């Protein structure tokens, strides 16, 4: 190798060295950047989880604070009271038979349905006035029913009946409203009549098992807590099974509701406990305690939808095998604010969860209360209870007369 050659080879080598050095630095920087990003992501996730857990804890604590909201108080003698009392009187109640619980609930229901009513009835009543019904009012009514998420089938049924009546005679405003109320009631009543039970109450001296099912967040656990309160108020020996073992805070949430009504909760706090095993234990306890009503809370979300249905049928098998004589109800909880989506859920669950009834929650603050009609007509499910608020008293047995009156209440 000549000197020049040697020099240029050193040059070449230096350049190569520099290049490698640069590459190494670059790679090192990239590695550091990646490590930093991963670390930041992990920290962010940790923080999010902590915030979420903190929020869940806070929510649980808040539920705990408003502890004695189980006893209603008599409010003012106002329009709300008068309306509630008249609604009870219209069902044949005598003055001395009217309870504060009923008045309190009707006022809450009326207030709860305000949003649905605003978008639906107030408009209609405004348009109608005292004038007779016209084909145009029917068109308006059609739009309003659909907007309240009553669904196409219910809307068609009501509009066709009204149209038929209108073709036969002149229908005054008030008469039209009364006819409408009858039609709505008959839709809601049909599945209740088919079921042979006007109201769902636990049979005395027997084991009744109510499975509370539904997609996540619709209000299953809250509803179950309120059901426990209702059952205890009507002196049924009650027990709760915490079969939602998927969500970490579920047992704690249920325990709070159990404490509020003085009802024991059977649970298994270990991670990934088998829900069917919890139900098995709960049935054993129910038998030895001579429980009349066993309420079972179930998960709303699992890894996928098939798992959820499989889990429900596994629970059901345990019940059928262990206590074949128990009176079992499978109650689907529906969030009214989800409107037509709830209808889809109902159809899905009806296929695989042997549903016997529905509970419509969150009727307060939604304008989609009409979905109750769609569920009755299209899924033929009797609505058994309705919830209109987060408090312990905000759930009552479903009464189609009161529901329709509250939905169509005058301003």
Residues in contact with ligand GTP by the rule CB under 6 A = 214, 216-222, 244, 247, 250, 300-301, 361-362, 364-365, 387-390, 394
Partner from Mg ion, ligand GTP, none contacting 294, C-beta within 5 to 8 A by type: none
On the 0-12 / 13-18 / 19+ scale of CB atoms within 10 A, 340 is middle
Partner from Mg ion, ligand GTP, none contacting 364, C-beta within 5 to 8 A by type: ligand GTP
**110 lies in the binding site for Mg ion (CB under 5 A):** no
Partner from Mg ion, ligand GTP, none contacting 218, C-beta within 5 to 8 A by type: ligand GTP
Pick between residue 374 and residue 388 the one whose CB is nearest to ligand GTP. Answer: 388
Partner from ligand GTP, Mg ion, none contacting 370, C-beta within 5 to 8 A by type: none
Rounded distance, CA 115 to CA 132, Å?
Answer: 26
Q: How far is the CB of 297 from Mg ion (least distance, A)?
A: 6
Pick between residue 53 and residue 97 the one whose CB is nearest to Mg ion. Answer: 53
Q: How far is the CB of 216 from Mg ion (least distance, A)?
A: 8
On the 0-12 / 13-18 / 19+ scale of CB atoms within 10 A, 37 is exposed
Pick between residue 171 and residue 227 the one whose CB is nearest to ligand GTP. Answer: 227
Rounded distance, CA 202 to CA 329, Å?
Answer: 10
DSSP sequence for 22-47: HHHHHHHHHHHHHHHHHHHHHHHHHH
Q: How far is the CB of 375 from Mg ion (least distance, A)?
A: 20
DSSP sequence for 339-397: THHHHHHHHHHHHHS---EEEEE--TT-S-TTHHHHHHHHS---EEEEE-SSSTTSEEE
Partner from ligand GTP, Mg ion, none contacting 119, C-beta within 5 to 8 A by type: none
Q: Which residue has the tokens 């709505």?
A: 184
**220 lies in the binding site for Mg ion (CB under 5 A):** yes
Listed ranges 21-29, 129-137, 200-208, 214-222: which one lies at the site for Mg ion (CB under 5 A): 214-222
Pick between residue 177 and residue 212 the one whose CB is nearest to ligand GTP. Answer: 212
In sequence order, the β-bridge partners of residue 383 are 358
Q: How far is the CB of 249 from Mg ion (least distance, A)?
A: 9
Contact criterion met (CB below 8 Å) for 388 and 337: no
Partner from ligand GTP, Mg ion, none contacting 191, C-beta within 5 to 8 A by type: none
Partner from ligand GTP, Mg ion, none contacting 222, C-beta within 5 to 8 A by type: ligand GTP
**226 lies in the binding site for Mg ion (CB under 5 A):** no
Tokens describing residue 273: 């406990």
DSSP sequence for 239-290: EEEEE--SSTTHHHHHHHHHHHHT--EE---STT--HHHHHHHHHHHHHHHT
**362 lies in the binding site for Mg ion (CB under 5 A):** no
Q: How far is the CB of 39 from Mg ion (least distance, A)?
A: 34
**221 lies in the binding site for Mg ion (CB under 5 A):** yes
Rounded distance, CA 162 to CA 164, Å?
Answer: 5
What does the binding site for Mg ion look like in residue numbers (CB under 5 A)?
Answer: 220-221
């Amino acid at each position: 190798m000549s000197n020049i050659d040697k020099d240029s080879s050193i040059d070449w080598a230096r350049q190569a060295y520099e290049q490698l050095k640069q590459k190494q630095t670059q790679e090192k920087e990239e590695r550091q950047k990646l490590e930093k990003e991963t670390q930041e992501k992990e920290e962010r996730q940790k923080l999010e989880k902590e915030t979420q857990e903190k929020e869940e804890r806070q929510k649980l604590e808040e539920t705990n604070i408003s502890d004695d909201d189980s006893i209603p108080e008599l409010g003012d003698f106002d329009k709300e009271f008068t309306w509630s009392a008249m609604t009870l009187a219209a069902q044949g109640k005598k003055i001395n038979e009217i309870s504060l619980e009923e008045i309190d609930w009707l006022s809450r229901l009326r207030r709860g349905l305000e949003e649905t009513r605003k978008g639906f009835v107030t408009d209609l009543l405004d348009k109608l006035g005292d004038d007779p019904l016209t084909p145009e009012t029917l068109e308006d009514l059609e739009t309003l029913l659909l907007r309240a998420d009553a669904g196409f089938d219910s809307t068609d049924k009501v509009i066709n009946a009204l149209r038929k009546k209108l073709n036969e005679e002149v229908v005054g405003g008030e008469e039209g409203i009364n006819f409408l109320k009858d039609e709505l009631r008959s839709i809601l009543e049909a599945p209740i009549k088919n079921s042979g039970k006007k109201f769902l109450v636990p049979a005395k001296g027997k084991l009744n098992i109510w499975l509370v099912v539904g997609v996540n967040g619709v209000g299953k656990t809250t509803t179950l807590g309120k059901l426990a309160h209702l059952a205890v108020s009507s002196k049924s020996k009650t027990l709760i099974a915490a079969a939602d073992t998927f969500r970490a805070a579920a047992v704690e949430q249920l325990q709070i509701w159990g404490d509020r009504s003085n009802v024991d909760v059977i649970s298994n706090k270990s991670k990934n406990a088998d829900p069917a095993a919890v139900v098995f234990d709960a049935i054993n306890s129910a038998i030895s305690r001579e429980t009349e009503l066993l309420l079972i809370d179930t998960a709303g979300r699992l890894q996928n939808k098939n798992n959820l249905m499989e889990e429900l049928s596994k629970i059901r098998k345990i019940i059928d095998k262990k206590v074949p004589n128990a009176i079992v109800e499978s109650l689907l909880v529906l969030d009214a604010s989800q409107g037509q989506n709830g209808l889809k859920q109902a159809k899905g669950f009806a296929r695989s969860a042997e549903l016997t009834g529905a509970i419509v929650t969150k009727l307060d603050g939604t304008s989609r209360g009409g979905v109750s009609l769609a569920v009755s007509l299209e899924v033929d499910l009797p609505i058994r209870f309705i919830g209109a608020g987060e408090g312990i008293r905000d759930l009552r047995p479903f009464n189609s007369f009161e529901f329709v009156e509250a939905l169509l209440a005058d301003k």
